[in-house]
Amino acid sequence: MGYVGLPLALAAAKVGFRVIGFDIDERRVALLNRGESGFTHIPSGPLALALSQGRFTATADLSALNRPDAILIAVPTPLSKQREPDLTYVENSTEAIAKALRPGQLVVLESTTWPGTTREVVQPILEKSALRIGTDYYLAFSPEREDPGNVCFGTSAIPKIIGADDPASLKLACALYGELIEKAVPVSSAATAEAVKLTENVFRAVNIALVNELKVIFDRMGIDIWEVIEAAKTKPFGYMPFYPGPGLGGHCIPIDPFYLTWKAREFEIATRFIELAGEINTHMPHYVVSKLAEALDHDASRGLNGANILIIGLAYKKNIEDTRESPALKLIELIEGRGGKTEYHDPFVSEIPRIRDYPSLRGRRSVAITAEKLWEYDAIVIVTDHDSVDWPLIGRHGRLLIDTRNVCARNGVTGPHIVKA
């Protein structure tokens, strides 16, 4: 019942379905049953309404998985430390479903994964129950396409890709999503649907890598990449703007391409283009730190070692509290690894949660910013361009600004103390 599952549950409750939200985190279950979404970008009002109408309840009791007519799996699909797919959450969820599976139930995997997962991983686990796909139970894949914080495209407005490996499962899944989503898009197989989601995110990752590399090139030439993009996007055809940044964040774009890369090895195919894009995007926090160190040396006549640095924005994108794969975390690690001291300010992230790759950062709290406080920092690194941040205040009282989002220019903040990175 997280960033994907909760919006989907609320969409179903809104059109009249009775929904059970399963989550192994009992604290999360209690929060939801109190009518609190726990996310700033998901209003609690619809949840409270669904609870009052008896259309939603949350539980950690997985034995109740035999109750729903349809079970939608929306769990994380991270990478291991070796950058290989980790399907532990998918496998554990499917094992729990298999123990409770009854005839007539529809199971849909929504988690992003490599082509073939539904058939090769999920189906064999479910069929431990002795039920058979297409006759006893039904199985499909429909990738989540959530964009947290996007006010223009909510869950119901985003077309839903649906794939299955038998006609009965596809028909039933389309019938279900047809009630929840404005447009269902059926495809020929579960693997095709899995490939669709990977294609979408590989496309974004590769194009972001391209513009990140252009940023580095143009910066060396004394050319502003942001001005270039603004001019280029006036072309009404043949160009789509992508924007550079301090690195990739979120649970999809930094991770999903590697699921395809891993699967391609089975077919003896080298995904050179995808892996190169990954290398470029992964290097961007290092580039930002090099620009920070260069600016400190040039403008403040000091090194990064011992410098006081403020990070603006811990979330991976603006106006939400999601810190998954946020480049801000890597920046903190790199800056402190070179002897710098860091604090952060984020109006959406009051405290750093437990993060697998950065356990030492857990519990650090966002600092308030005032004119006096800003002057204490040797440099301020802008990582996330939240709308609610007082950018003119930062521009007036920050001694040295490293802007990775072009937010200063967009807010009319100018000056020789601003370095684009």
Sheet with 184-187: strands ordered across: 70-73, 106-109, 138-141, 160-163, 184-187
Q: Are 202 and 274 spatial neighbours (Cβ–Cβ below 8 Å)?
A: yes
Tokens representing residue 331 in the block: 């920046």
Active-site pick, 152, 174, 252, 408: 252
Strands 184-187 and 19-22: unpaired
| 258: nearest Cα among 241, 281, 283 | 281
**What dihedral do alpha carbons 130, 131, 134, 138 form, nearest 10°?**
-130
DSSP labels for 43-110? Answer: -SHHHHHHHHTT-EEEE--GGGGGS-SEEEE-----B-TTS-B--HHHHHHHHHHHHH--TT-EEEE-
The Cβ-side half-sphere exposure at 151, using a 13 Å CA radius, reads 6
User: Is 174 known to be catalytic?
Assistant: no
DSSP states of 132-176 as a string? -BTTTBEEEE------TT-SS--GGGS-EEEE-SSHHHHHHHHHH
End-to-end Cα spacing for the chain: 37
Whole-number Å distance between alpha carbons of 347 and 199: 33
Calculate ∠ Cα 96-102-108, nearest 5°: 60
Residue type, 26: E
The residues assigned a catalytic role are 252
